[in-house]
Structure 1
Amino acid sequence: MAKTSGIIKIEGTIEDLTFYKKDGQNFVRKKGGIAKERILNDPNFIRTRENGSEFSHSASSGKILRTAVGSLVFKAKDSKLSSRLLQTMAGIKNLDTTSARGLRNVSNGIATAEGKQALKGFDFNNRAHLKSVLFAPYVLDNLTGTISFTDLIAAEQFHFPQGATHIALQAAFLNLDFETQISEVTYSNIANLPINLVASSPVLIPTGVPTGTGVQLYLLMISFYQEVNNVQYSLRNEEYNILNIIEVL
């Protein structure tokens, strides 16, 4: 580390020199760090390479899930969705007890009961959790992906944001193979309910059963709207919308 004493005080990086200010004085140091080539080839960095490989795999798996769910993700997500999914996928990857270190993967982890449980209940929008909004029982038919409600009273069984006049419910049935990255998703009808004390029994039926290998994920979407002059508008740019993985099989 060297201290500069010239008239011109520089801050920033020029080639391999970094100029910075500390405690009112100006210093310069040579850029450090370990060469990328060494990290990729030096036997001493084998653990670093293993960790990097699994980190990259976990991040890719989160992106695969987001893409597979489709357009619903854009209606209910927060700014940290990618990092939260990365953390969840990393935990699922750690449940792979058959692959060597550096090769552990989400496909093997999600095949375990613990892996499925780790993904069950995941909220794509961390500002709106299903368990803090919906207070009504529902029935899931895991063969068809149908979600049914009986005598649902919107004004009493939803914690809805101020200004909302209507609630929309929709189901999604996703088949996803994390190993092949092949997926298929089907969506249900949308049940639009006024927020009042009138009971209703909406049934959300996906258009079909998705095919393929992998795991089956069942999702529930809840959206809030405000009606003005007979037109419904998304409330607060969909900030309060919910997308939750209610089951993983």
Structure 2
Amino acid sequence: MAKQTGLIKVRGTLDNVNFYQTQDGTLARMRTSVDAKRIATDPAYIRTRENGAEFGASAKAGKIVRDTLRPLLLMASDNRITARMTKVMTDVKNLDTTSSRGGRNVAGGINHPSAKELLKGFNFNERSNLGSVLAKPFAVSTSSGEVTIADIIPLNDIASPVGATHFSLQCGWAKIDFNSGVSDFQLSALTKLPIDETQQTISLTPNTAPAGTGIDVFVLCIAFYQEVNNIQYPLRNGAFNALSIVEIQ
């Protein structure tokens, strides 16, 4: 696709070229001459239909993850999260070695030895990666969901944005079944602390284990606040908050 760079921006269709607005600017692409009915029925387009079916399945799997983690995504995510998650799910789908072409899906690929590594470390806010924000190792218990950060000194170990006076930590444990689309998500209590030189060990544990079957996804979220007259306000609407998958099994 092409990007318009001139002073006059065109929207719509001109000489079989579609002009449309995106967050990256005004883009242009050739309009296809093949109608949707032919793509859906013509044997010549069977590969196109197969690719479309698999892409749709990957997008649906990504939506399941996003919907499951929504309570924390509201605090920390970027405007490309849908596309980035769909891409990862497509990579997981490609590891499905049992389904036929056109039917490969995330449920069939998620148990491949390499699949979970594709998801582990995924950051939901590309503007603020957990590894760049938290400069302290942590441990994750896959039996209880507990996340422990030992001997943390916030002023030294948290890369806080200008203006932040406090930060919060919260972990979550999700159980996601990509076959059925059913999931459950349990959160720990929110731990909020001042950004100072006090050394302490932080332990976060979900209230209970999530119900159901499927894969276990463990996440950790860091959010920043500014205190004004004893009231703590979210800093810049969460632009600096980090949320990441820290373990998966």
How big is the alpha-carbon RMSD for the aligned residues of Structure 1 and Structure 2? Answer: 1.7
| Map of 1:157 onto structure 2 | 157
Instruction: Mark the runs of 5 or more structure 2 residues left unpaired by the alignment.
Output: 1-10, 18-30
Q: Distance in 2 between matches of 1:235 and 1:151?
A: 25
| Map of 1:144 onto structure 2 | 144
Q: Distance in 1 between matches of 2:158 and 2:33?
A: 53
**Pairs within 5 Å for 1:11-26:** none
- After superposition, the Cα gap between the structure-2 partners of 1:44 and 1:218, relative to the gap in structure 1 and judged at 3 Å, is same
| Matched-pair identity in % | 42
What is the CA-CA distance between 1:70 and the residue it aligns to?
2.5
Q: Distance in 1 between matches of 2:153 and 2:64?
A: 36
Q: Deviations over 1:175-210 (max 9, x none)?
A: 000110000110001111111111111111101001
Amino acid at match of 1:37: K
What is the CA-CA distance between 1:166 and the residue it aligns to?
0.7
Q: Distance in 1 between matches of 2:203 and 2:127?
A: 26
Larger CA Rg, structure 1 vs 2:
1
Instruction: Mark the runs of 5 or more structure 1 residues left unpaired by the alignment.
Output: 1-10, 21-30
| Map of 1:95 onto structure 2 | 95
Aligned length: 226
Q: Distance in 2 between matches of 1:19 and 1:152?
A: 60
| Map of 2:181 onto structure 1 | 181
- After superposition, the Cα gap between the structure-2 partners of 1:141 and 1:32, relative to the gap in structure 1 and judged at 3 Å, is closer
Amino acid at match of 1:174: A
- After superposition, the Cα gap between the structure-2 partners of 1:55 and 1:147, relative to the gap in structure 1 and judged at 3 Å, is same
TM-score between the two structures when normalised by the length of structure 2: 0.87
| Map of 2:168 onto structure 1 | 168
- After superposition, the Cα gap between the structure-2 partners of 1:12 and 1:211, relative to the gap in structure 1 and judged at 3 Å, is closer
| Map of 2:115 onto structure 1 | 115
TM-score between the two structures when normalised by the length of structure 1: 0.87
Q: Distance in 2 between matches of 1:83 and 1:47?
A: 22
**Pairs within 5 Å for 1:1-249:** 33-249=33-249
Secondary structure at 2:167's aligned position in 1? strand
